Homo-oligomer: A and B are copies of this chain.
Amino acid sequence: MTPFEGAVALLSWAAVAVVAASGALSASRKQLDPVGFILIACVTAFGGGTARDLMLGVPVFWLTAPGMVLLASGIALLVFFTAHLVERRFNALLWADAVGLGIFAVLGAEAAQRWGAPPWVAILMGTITATFGGVLRDIICAELPLILRREIYATAAAFGALVFVVLTEADMPRNLALPIGAFAGFALRGAAILRGWSMPTYRARPGRDYPDQR
């Protein structure tokens, strides 16, 4: 294993752990049983990377690193028994989701780049990898997807992937660009959580059209 492969593996395991926690926290909000916790945790943690690997035609990452299934399941059970100790569970969910968002964005962009995709496709793949697991979690749990909320979300994933792609195109070593891009995405999302930052959004003109018009 090269140092770069080591960095990718480390980030993957870390992202799986926190994103599994976000899935389990979502399961706690729906009062599911332990198997429900494990299933939602695994779907959230593996959903984005699975979509990425299927589209790129490479082996699905968690099938070739089965310890990850044990990790995600263990975290789900840990959350099952300890979530009531967390004062503000939705907040914990948001932050776990934010860490995973940053890491999965650069991992997705990196995988697409290695596959041979041009920069803009790598950025899209990073954004899909980062957001798809959370979208699955929210849809299966019948929650309003985080992606529809006002604060910056998909933009943070795209930003992290963009930073990574720009740095690698500028010949920065990839095992340096990887954590920088992940932190950039996480930092932007974190600022959005803390300060309610949002991008300029589309707004209907009052009296002209209405967002809910049919």
Interface residues of A (CB under 8 A from B): 27-39, 42-43, 50, 54-57, 59-60, 62-63, 66, 69-70, 73, 80, 83-84, 86-90, 115, 117-118, 120-121, 124, 127-128, 131, 135, 139-142, 144-145, 147-148, 152-155, 158, 198-205, 208-209, 211-214
How many Å lie between the Cα of A86 and that of B205 in the bound state? 11
How many Å lie between the Cα of A59 and that of B60 in the bound state? 15
Q: Which residues of B contact A131 (CB under 8 A)?
A: 39
What is the total number of copies of this protein in its complex?
3
- Flag if B144 contacts A36 (CB, 8 Å): no
Taking a contact as CB atoms closer than 8 A, the residue among B90, B135, B198 that contacts A213 in the complex is: B90
- Flag if B33 contacts A66 (CB, 8 Å): no
How many Å lie between the Cα of A152 and that of B205 in the bound state? 32
Q: Using A35-B155, A131-B39, A155-B35 as known contacts, say yes or no to A90 and B214 having CB atoms under 8 A apart.
A: yes
Distance from A187 Cβ to chain B, minimum over Cβ atoms (Å): 16
11 pairs across A/B with beta carbons < 8 Å?
A29-B213, A30-B211, A31-B201, A33-B152, A34-B200, A35-B154, A39-B127, A62-B121, A63-B115, A135-B140, A140-B147
Contacts A35-B155, A84-B203 given; 14 further ones with Cβ under 8 A? A29-B213, A30-B211, A34-B155, A35-B158, A35-B199, A38-B124, A38-B158, A39-B147, A39-B158, A50-B55, A66-B120, A70-B120, A90-B214, A142-B145
Q: Using A36-B147, A57-B59 as known contacts, say yes or no to A203 and B117 having CB atoms under 8 A apart.
A: no
